[in-house]
Amino acid sequence: MKFVTRMALSLAVFLSCNGIACANAGAQQAPSQPWHNIDFVTHSSTFYDAFRDQANTEPGLAADVYRALFSQMGFVPTIRLDVISRINSLDFDSESACSVLMLKSPAREAAFTFSLPVDFLLSHRLYQTNETPAVPAEVLNDKGELLSLSALFSQRENHQLIVLKGRSYGSVLDAQIRQLPDAAKYTRWGSNQYDADIRMLARGHGNYILAYPYDIHREAANFAGVSFKSTPIANNTAIRTGHIMCTKTPLTLAFLEEVNTHLRKLYHQQVYIDAHLKHTPPDSHQALHEGVAYLRSL
């Protein structure tokens, strides 16, 4: 099967189951848009910092895309930072609440409603440093993919996977993590889903993490003398799409309807593909072009 077909199928399955342009400081929310009554939250301190201080913070992929989206909507939200364990319930003072950068999962889809994809990344891979022995050949398939996390830890009983309490890694990996014995998991708490994992791995607090290539590409230069290597995981979808996840109220449903209208326009704009290409290693660019082509067909 050609890669473009695999990419389209991967996105289709994921969606079914589950500066660049900065926000104009002078943009004003129209009186007919009561979106300021929605409680907007994020679990990502990187995204939060970039969105809060647009002038002095280097934006990332997600911040670039969300700025482009909200600029097009003429709406500048106030987004606050919270821990993923609370965001998973969206149980806040406001009945109408939305969180950005959320993966779909069966449990989340049963409780909440989602936008179309806002941003997307090549999916999680298993990362380790060169201090950890290579993944044994006997737990890899003929494509060089890890058969499962259980297969790995049956061979590496004294090693640990760093995981964040309450974080979803997608349905396939979540199920595999649940099957691991507690001794194979180094469970941490916190609000930063991405950078903290990489820091802990680099400092030897665990042996493996599940990370996006995008995040490793962004952060690797901060760890002089540390080399990262990765292994793809069999049966894991090729693409992870990030969405806005909201409670189900008339206000949030109206908000997501408008978001989706603007997203369908944004997919066709160069600013959207540029946001992804700018922050992604060159060897991923073809896959990103194929992913955008699929989104444009929605």
Residue 25: what pLDDT? 35
Task: Decide which of 285 and 268 is more confident.
Answer: 268
pLDDT tens by residue, 76-135: 899 999 888 888 889 887 899 999 999 888 889 999 999 999 998 778 899 999 999 999
Instruction: Give the whole-angstrom CA distance, residue 97 versus residue 248.
Output: 9
Region 157-174: mean pLDDT is 89
Residue 89: what pLDDT? 87
Q: Is 123 exposed, middle or buried (0-12, 13-18, 19+ CB in 10 A)?
A: buried
The pLDDT of residue 27 is above 60: no
Q: Are 234 and 147 in contact (CB under 8 A)?
A: yes
Residue 198: what pLDDT? 92
Residue 7: what pLDDT? 46
What is the full DSSP assignment across 75-134? ----EEE--HHHHTTT-SSSSSEEEEEEPP-HHHHHH-EEPSPSEEEEPPEEEEETTSPP
Instruction: Give the whole-angstrom CA distance, residue 65 versus residue 92.
Output: 26
The pLDDT of residue 5 is above 50: no
**% of the chain with per-residue pLDDT over 90:** 50
The pLDDT of residue 29 is above 60: no
The pLDDT of residue 275 is above 80: yes
Task: Decide which of 188 and 22 is more confident.
Answer: 188
The pTM assigned to this predicted structure is 0.69
pLDDT tens by residue, 82-94: 888 888 889 887 8
Half-sphere exposure of residue 5: CA atoms within 13 angstroms, side-chain side: 2
Question: How distant, in Å, are the alpha carbons of 29, 88, 134 from that of 130?
Answer: 50, 34, 8
Average pLDDT, the chain: 84
Task: Look at the alpha carbons of 216, 220, 222, 226 in this order and tell me if their dihedral is positive or negative.
Answer: positive
The pLDDT of residue 146 is above 90: yes
The pLDDT of residue 30 is above 50: no
